[in-house]
Structure 1
Amino acid sequence: MIMALSEQEISPAEQARREFRQQRRKRSIWISLASTLAFAALVWFGLLATPGWQRVEESFFNWEVAVASFPRVIDGLLLNLRVLLVAAVLVLIFGLMLAVFRTLKAPVFFPLRVLSKGYVDLFRGLPLIIVLYLVGFGIPGLRLEFLGRIPAEVLGIAALTITYSAYVSEVFRAGIESVHPSQRLAARSLGLSYSQSMRLVVLPQAVRKVVPPLMNDLVALQKDVGLISVLGAIDAVRGAQIEVAKFANFTPYVVAGLLFVLLAIPTIRLADRISAKFAAREQQGVAL
């Protein structure tokens, strides 16, 4: 068993190298900090020197308006969170279904493959805001009495699910096709049916491989939930719009934007961490 070297067993040359790396790391930190502060000061004083800064500051960065508008905006953000959670689950389910349909090889499944491909091509090409208008105003326009009055957030969830399922299905399909055919053949040779080999062998490997891009799609979805405001849902964006009209000031938009950023940062950092972890494993040749 190889034991870690104690401090006494480290050679003078190795000790010198460690001290040099530590000093260089400290030097890099101080240089980064100094350059960041210098850049921030340059931007700050540059803004202060512009002729219209005082007017912009009053219109977009008014502290009193920010405090007064915060309760309504945060209430709307809670609606965005609910929409995000439901839409994310539905997108994963429908995206995986579409990906499986597109990978079916038997001739009898040709209609499913064609419909899935057409669906993906259509909704990857349509802008999300147009889908929101089509779903948000088209479905109520059908006047289906058994549906009753559909809340705006439900219509928003439907539109987000329809659009993002097309993107996520391509991510899942890439993961499924990246699994080597020998895996399927080995599963079939063990007596597993097609559905069993897909569920027990192919999909677990495919999902592990596509986790990083799925996290990126989640970040994009997290941002786009703010578009449900076009349907009249009182979310963070619509709440900010109401407060802007109330105070004749644009600060509530800045408040809503900052809340979305604060909501997205943990997810972005998690996505970066997962991507780096998977990349490191691939470089080391570790099975995912």
Structure 2
Amino acid sequence: MATFDPSTVSTVELEREKYRKSEGLKSVITSVVSALVLVAVITVSLQNSPGWQQVKLTFFNWDVFVQSIPAVGQGLLLNLQVLFFAVIGVAILGTLLALLRTSRSAVMLPLRWIAAFYTTIMRGIPMLVVLYLIGFGVPGLVTSRISPTLLGTVAVILSYSAYIAEVLRAGFNDVHPSQRAAARSLGLTNLQTIRMVVIPQALRKVAPALMNDFISMQKDVGLISTLGAVDAIRSAQIMQATTYNFTPYVTASVAFICLSVPFILLNDWYSARLRKRELNGGTV
């Protein structure tokens, strides 16, 4: 069997590789320089602004920032707790809705209509309105006190499951029918075909879109503060009322940014990986 000899690489290919490396280095240098220039322009513009010192004192006060970290951090733990259970609930409910919408069984027709109606309505209602409806409407129905954290989690699940369901439905429909037929010809049941063939392929296709929705949900979890839950946003509001300074809101924003960045980087990496595999003719 013939083996590859690196010495057989043509001179043209070596020159191309050298050219690609030089162009990549130029691109990196250009990006760094342009970023530094932009930062310098923004810094100079802010420093020369007549109201910058007052804005800096009101929104970017370092002492207040440090003072608000413990309270905001404690509230962020509640946001993480809500996010954990919301992700699980959205994944389950969104998958069920997507499966109902893609079902072709005549028996499932009423449920398919209900799923279509649900996703249409919930995607049209603002998240804040859903929180009000669940957070203040449900306690009125049962005439008893329910934890605002629980109600906020339910509202997030009901709202975002509609978006996730539509993304998953697009992924399910994008799986070629021959894949289902091949699975059934091998003796797999309909549920086994969905679980072992359709869902894995669909998730790979729509993973970047799903990650974007979950990143958006991670930010909207902060809206549970409107129901009275003492999360990071509510903690910042309490600190603002105490210090008469808006810096605690910046502290909460930094906390949410730090929470989002890993997911954003993961999404960018996975999207680039999928694009590279597609361009190379690999199996996506």
Q: TM exceeds 0.5? A: yes
Shift, 1:17, TM fit: 5.1
TM-score of the pair, normalised by structure 1: 0.92
Q: Where does residue 232 of structure 2 map in the other structure?
A: 236
The reply to whether residue 37 of structure 1 matches residue 33 of structure 2 is: no
Query: SS state of the match for residue 188, structure 2?
Result: coil
Q: Where does residue 178 of structure 2 map in the other structure?
A: 182
Shift, 1:187, TM fit: 2.5
Note the alpha carbon deviations across 1:205-226, whole angstroms, 9 max, x for none: 2222221211111111111111
Q: Where does residue 217 of structure 2 map in the other structure?
A: 221
Count of residues in correspondence between the two structures: 283
Q: Equivalent residues in 2 for 1:53-202 (5 A)?
A: 53-143=52-142, 149-202=145-198
Shift, 1:189, TM fit: 2.8
Shift, 1:21, TM fit: 4.3
Using a 3 Å threshold, how does the CA distance of structure 1 residues 54 and 4 change in structure 2: closer, same or farther? farther
Instruction: Give, in whole Å, the separation in 2 of the partners of 1:28 and 1:164.
Output: 39
Greater displacement, 194-203 / 237-246: 194-203
TM-score of the pair, normalised by structure 2: 0.93
* % identity of equivalent residues: 48
Using a 3 Å threshold, how does the CA distance of structure 1 residues 206 and 33 change in structure 2: closer, same or farther? closer
Match of 1:210 among 196, 206, 222: 206
Using a 3 Å threshold, how does the CA distance of structure 1 residues 209 and 34 change in structure 2: closer, same or farther? closer
Using a 3 Å threshold, how does the CA distance of structure 1 residues 192 and 15 change in structure 2: closer, same or farther? closer
Greater displacement, 226-235 / 209-218: 209-218
Query: SS state of the match for residue 248, structure 2?
Result: helix
Q: Structure 1: which amino acid aligns with 2:110?
A: P
Instruction: Give, in whole Å, the separation in 1 of the partners of 2:193 and 2:126.
Output: 36
Note the alpha carbon deviations across 1:138-192, whole angstroms, 9 max, x for none: 1111125xxx532111111100000010000111111111111122222233333
Greater displacement, 32-41 / 156-165: 32-41
Query: SS state of the match for residue 249, structure 1?
Result: coil
Give the superposed CA RMSD. Answer: 1.9
Gaps of 5+ in 2: none
The reply to whether residue 283 of structure 1 matches residue 267 of structure 2 is: no
Shift, 1:100, TM fit: 0.8
